[in-house]
Amino acid sequence: MKKLVLIFTLVASSSAWAQGDINAGKLKAATCVACHGSDGNATITQYPKLAGQHADYIVKQLADYKLAFTTEGTQGRNNAIMAGMAAGLSATDMADLGAYFSSLPISPNTTPENVIAIAEPLYRFGDPERGIAACISCHGPRGNGTSLAGFPKISGQNAEYMALQLQEFRAGSRHNDLNRMMQSVAAKLTDNEITALSAYVGGLH
């Protein structure tokens, strides 16, 4: 029963975002270029690639950044740069930006051979003894996530950005994940595991 309630909640929250306009989003994305690249593929690796990301996920993150700004960080997702960027965005602006970036192709990435031994078992099977859920259960075998459930695409993502997010989830400084799922997983990961997983997902396709 709890699983059914969770599914219905996810569907309802996902469908709440309005459909955006790609062309309008392209115009509004001019201020995003410095960090996220002209094509949504950030070359500064501490920032995420937005190209190909699920539109609903982008909208939720923007809304969470704005929420953090309006609640002085007590809610939402805290980031000094993005809080300022999102503060003036309307729901329509967010939907347009989500539509635009989701329409762009993500640039290719690879998985370094030296991380596979550590990362692949964790990604595919988790670690039941430590209570670590498998990444594949939410993000899928190819790292594409699912828009309907609100799980982001992580395949092809910048490894440095991924590591920073896992570290923030582990520290509790990022806490906008559904039911603390990512915080629960990241809290049990070692530094080496975070580094390996962050690099591993880049080459999933």
- Is 101:50 a contact under the CB 8 Å cutoff? yes
pLDDT computed for residue 11 by the predictor:
42
Span 106-128, average pLDDT: 97
**pLDDT category of residue 18 using cuts at 50, 70 and 90:** low
Q: Which two tokens stand for residue 125?
A: 């099977």
Task: Give binding residues for heme c as ranges.
Answer: 32, 35-36, 82, 135, 138-139, 182
pLDDT computed for residue 185 by the predictor:
97
Is the pLDDT confidence value at 51 over 50? yes
Q: Which two tokens stand for residue 19?
A: 């459909």
pLDDT computed for residue 153 by the predictor:
98
Task: Give binding residues as ranges.
Answer: 32, 35-36, 82, 135, 138-139, 182
- The 10s digit of each residue's pLDDT in 78-93 is 999 999 999 999 999 9
| Distance of alpha carbon 205 from alpha carbon 154, whole angstroms | 10
| Distance of alpha carbon 205 from alpha carbon 31, whole angstroms | 30
Is the pLDDT confidence value at 161 over 80? yes
Residues of the chain with CATH 1.10.760.10: 22-27+46-103, 113-203
Alpha helices in the chain (DSSP H): 2-15, 22-28, 33-36, 55-70, 80-86, 91-102, 116-125, 136-139, 159-171, 181-186, 191-200
- Is 148:194 a contact under the CB 8 Å cutoff? no
Q: Which pTM value belongs to this model?
A: 0.90
pLDDT computed for residue 205 by the predictor:
80
Is the pLDDT confidence value at 27 over 50? yes
Instruction: Look at domain 113-203 and name its CATH class.
Output: mainly alpha
Beta bridge partners of 127: 132
- The answer regarding whether domain 22-27+46-103 maps to CATH 1.10.760.10 reads yes
